[in-house]
């Protein structure tokens, strides 16, 4: 069951994303949470493969095969399904993966970057990946344990299965209950690194993460952000340098950041026609 918490102040949001981050065993604040921000609170955790519609699960292998055929091979450290899947997700290929981040601030950015949806409540999903991994099959648990890791890498996944087809067939043959795992993509570029990215992957492409989470307790929380709070979050993130300029390095990210930075927060259809409004003044360097 996904617990839903409504937040209407910056302090409440801040407290919620860092709740239970204290780790008494090591005496440090180390959260077991991963975060995903959405601009509208009613957005489900549907991956891009599901959004194709129809019998989308039959298309996954064709999509990956053709992506590998036409993409540049020199962009990957290893020529295997897991690296190609991560690269495809990174560049918009429909996959069963979902983007997450270790950073609550990066998730807040994605909940507040779309100005066209500032009239709607946003949300930040928080998933406890350590708790989720307790539901993994024993072989995958052992791989993490032997490596001393809490999340997978593409290299660790290849120890379990060399291909996505083998990964799926092992789950079917063993009669395992559906499970979700989380893995860090290779540092293909600065965008992945700066966004502190992690991907989730279901063991069955026909099952969405939202569906799986509804049957699992204490794994996920959804923080619904009041729409009236969005501008405060947005301005504070900008001051903290959590912007498109950093998260999407390059001219595209720079342009998107500047366009939003100089957008009038009072904008509405009537205001656009009302020339009597005083101009918005920006300080030098903003």
Q: Which residues of the chain fall below pLDDT 50? A: 269-275, 282, 284, 286
Q: What pTM, to 2 d.p., does this model score?
A: 0.90
Quote the pLDDT of residue 271.
43
Per-residue CA distances from 238 to 5, 196, 245 (Å): 25, 17, 10
Please tell me the distance from the alpha carbon of residue 189 to that of residue 77, in angstroms, as a whole number. Answer: 12
The whole-angstrom separation of Cα 248 and Cα 31 is 25
Both structure tokens of 174: 């063993």
pLDDT at res. 73: 66
d(CA 38, CA 225): 10
Cα–Cα dist 26/29, whole Å: 9
At residue 75, the pLDDT reads 67
What sign does the dihedral 264-40-11-101 (CA atoms) show?
negative
pLDDT, residue 279, reads 54
Residue from 150, 158, 179, 139 nearest 83 by CA: 158
Q: Please name the residues in contact with 205: beta carbons below 8 A apart, sequence gap of 6 or more.
A: 49, 56, 57, 60, 96, 168
Assess contact for 230 and 7: CB atoms under 8 A.
no
Alpha helix (H) ranges present in 4-43? 10-17
pLDDT value at position 282? 47
């Amino acid at each position: 069951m996904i617990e839903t918490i409504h937040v209407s102040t910056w302090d409440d949001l801040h407290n919620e994303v860092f709740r239970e981050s204290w780790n008494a065993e090591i005496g440090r604040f180390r959260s077991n949470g991963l975060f995903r921000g959405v601009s509208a609170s009613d957005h489900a955790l549907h991956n891009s493969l599901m959004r194709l519609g129809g019998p989308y699960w039959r298309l996954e292998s064709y999509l990956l095969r053709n992506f590998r055929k036409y993409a540049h091979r020199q962009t990957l450290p290893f020529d295997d399904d897991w690296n190609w899947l991560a690269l495809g997700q990174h560049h918009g290929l429909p996959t069963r993966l979902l983007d997450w981040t270790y950073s609550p601030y990066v998730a807040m950015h994605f909940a507040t970057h779309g100005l066209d949806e500032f009239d709607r409540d946003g949300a930040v999903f928080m998933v406890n990946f350590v708790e989720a991994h307790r539901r993994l099959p024993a072989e995958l648990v052992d791989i993490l344990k032997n490596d001393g890791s809490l999340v997978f890498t593409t290299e660790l996944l290849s120890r379990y299965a060399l291909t996505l087809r083998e990964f799926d067939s092992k789950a079917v043959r063993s009669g395992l209950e559906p499970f979700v795992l989380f893995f860090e993509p290779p540092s293909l570029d600065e965008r992945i690194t700066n966004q502190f990215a992690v991907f989730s992957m279901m063991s069955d492409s026909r099952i969405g993460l939202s569906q799986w989470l509804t049957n699992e307790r204490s794994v996920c929380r959804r923080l619904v952000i009041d729409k009236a709070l969005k501008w405060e979050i947005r301005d504070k993130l900008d001051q903290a340098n959590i912007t498109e300029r950093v998260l999407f390095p390059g001219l595209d990210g720079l342009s998107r950041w500047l366009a939003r930075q100089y957008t009038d927060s009072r904008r509405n259809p009537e205001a656009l026609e009302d020339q009597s409004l005083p101009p918005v003044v920006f300080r030098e360097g903003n």
